[in-house]
Structure 1
């Protein structure tokens, strides 16, 4: 492998994660994949060691990232021992952190939510904390203010879930779409809206996690979650309006993916969605089914209103270009290895 920028030797990055694309297609995993892909593009060796069993039994590669399923090899600890930097998130932070500390390796933790448990698991053993939004960083500041100075992460960086617009941009379709039918993402409201609007065609994409509330209605098409590389052709090219009536979103990657095509995003105003969508979002409380129906009908029947919202969506997409965030992330990881 060639040397990286500045003539330095490539680093060995080991990520300990529970699931990974293309089999596990949640927003958290696609965010981390984008970050790891950026490290590969800088010239580093990156491998992901999975902690849950899947149907994958052999190593595979995705965009230059080497993925080792649990069925393939069980020596993640040995890989961490040889790593220059360890990366983890969600359920694997305690175990990966213990191994990293035991072997004297710097640990980078990607934080996807503002739950106190997430911050607590970083306390005292995280060299780099990655927050996916400004509001998450503020929440972390409030949490760590309760602890002695040495308990907080050694360094911090904000990396908004990276979405390269050209990978998702397409011409809008005709359907009203929800991605992930679990309760927290709005699966129940989605079914209610489809029943209230039998004249409207709906598209549902089942999620990679959570119990799915799947409506059995003639105007609802249901498809399985898929590799993010397929979302443009199989989902966004068929979508006219994207729904995000989530009870909680720390950011909302799917909404940003939709903005690339100028798709209106009708969302519940969580702090994360308000930050990610900005003025492009059309915000309606998740308990207001009549409000959602009214907005959807307006967007589907009024071309001028649709064009206005679409224009704002494209403008917000351009503002969220991930190049600077990913560069800051790679610089931060490289700094860990030089300590």
Structure 2
């Protein structure tokens, strides 16, 4: 098959969880022998097309015609802001559209239910249940012809390493917990923190002697640059539909302290240590306990590794490939 994805950004320039999820899914199609290309809708510093794990990425700066690629495609894939325009082009050329849904916000569901969607992919069982509520509340919406749950695929062997000694936050914007991270770093000057600049949002990067700031890190470099230096990962997000960074960290048995959003509760399961994002003292208490009590750390680490094994993506990726091939038949 020829599969064309219309997306706004892509690794290694844009390293958000949504883009790495889609890349893992597209890579699985490449491994099945299909031709996969990604056509970007935002300008980047890239002026030439490039290859990432067999996926051909065409930057907007090349000034090549995405519509012509969609016209020749067997299946079109899109997500987030590009769903309306990709859906219009897919409909115009009579091509099936697969939409990957990354959040439960109303615009996402409305775009997915616009009538153009042949396959909707939800990133969690929670999101699928929220979609059911959406269709019940908006009965005139057009339900996708097929629906599938593919949890953001994380291959544990690609992230597994020996944990380091830092308390880490990946993406330091307000919604991901940047303000809490700064308060913790100020309250705990004896603890070493690692702040990783995110792909989006205004970053809160503490200028403190116990905080090291890393620039934006490609997903291919997270194991060596981030997880090999991390002893505890923080995910005090006000909203997460899943929590890919937490799953990546658990591959190495790194404890994850998180705010109990529905997505994070599903992703981390019993391996997660959940503390309300407004409870700064609670976060400090858990961090200190994990740093000073070896038995407690080993227990949480063991649970993290077990949860990582449970989230093997092989079966869900196989179902995704089967569904895409069925669309083109």
TM-score band w.r.t. shorter chain: over 0.9
1:227 aligns with 2:218: yes
After TM superposition, give the deviation of residue 150 of structure 1 in Å. Answer: 7.1
Note the residue ranges of structure 1 that are not aligned, 5 or more in a row: 1-10
Match of 1:27 among 1, 13, 17: 17
Within-5 A mapping of 1:140-289: 140-148=131-139, 151-289=142-280
The Cα RMSD (Å) is: 0.8
Equivalent position of 1:296 in the other structure = 287
Equivalent position of 1:94 in the other structure = 84
Alignment partners' CA distance in 1, 2:48 and 2:243: 32
Match of 1:318 among 295, 309, 312: 309
Alignment partners' CA distance in 2, 1:74 and 1:185: 36
1:133 aligns with 2:116: no
Equivalent position of 1:71 in the other structure = 61
Equivalent pairs counted in the alignment come to: 328
1:82 aligns with 2:69: no
Q: Secondary structure at the match of 1:211?
A: coil
1:37 aligns with 2:27: yes
After TM superposition, give the deviation of residue 149 of structure 1 in Å. Answer: 7.1
Equivalent position of 2:52 in the other structure = 62
TM (norm. structure 2) is: 0.99
Equivalent position of 1:7 in the other structure = none
After TM superposition, give the deviation of residue 74 of structure 1 in Å. Answer: 3.3
Alignment partners' CA distance in 1, 2:255 and 2:65: 46
Preserved contact between residue 135 and residue 141 of structure 2 (Cα < 8 Å): no
Alignment partners' CA distance in 2, 1:183 and 1:306: 28
Equivalent position of 1:329 in the other structure = 320
Alignment partners' CA distance in 2, 1:92 and 1:223: 30
After TM superposition, give the deviation of residue 122 of structure 1 in Å. Answer: 1.4
After TM superposition, give the deviation of residue 226 of structure 1 in Å. Answer: 1.5
Alignment partners' CA distance in 2, 1:121 and 1:109: 9
Q: Secondary structure at the match of 2:109?
A: helix
Q: Secondary structure at the match of 2:4?
A: strand
Preserved contact between residue 110 and residue 141 of structure 2 (Cα < 8 Å): no
After TM superposition, give the deviation of residue 73 of structure 1 in Å. Answer: 2.8
Q: Secondary structure at the match of 2:212?
A: strand
Alignment partners' CA distance in 1, 2:9 and 2:238: 24
Note the residue ranges of structure 2 that are not aligned, 5 or more in a row: none
Alignment partners' CA distance in 1, 2:282 and 2:161: 28
Q: Secondary structure at the match of 2:56?
A: strand
Alignment partners' CA distance in 2, 1:24 and 1:260: 23
TM (norm. structure 1) is: 0.96
Alignment partners' CA distance in 2, 1:148 and 1:113: 20
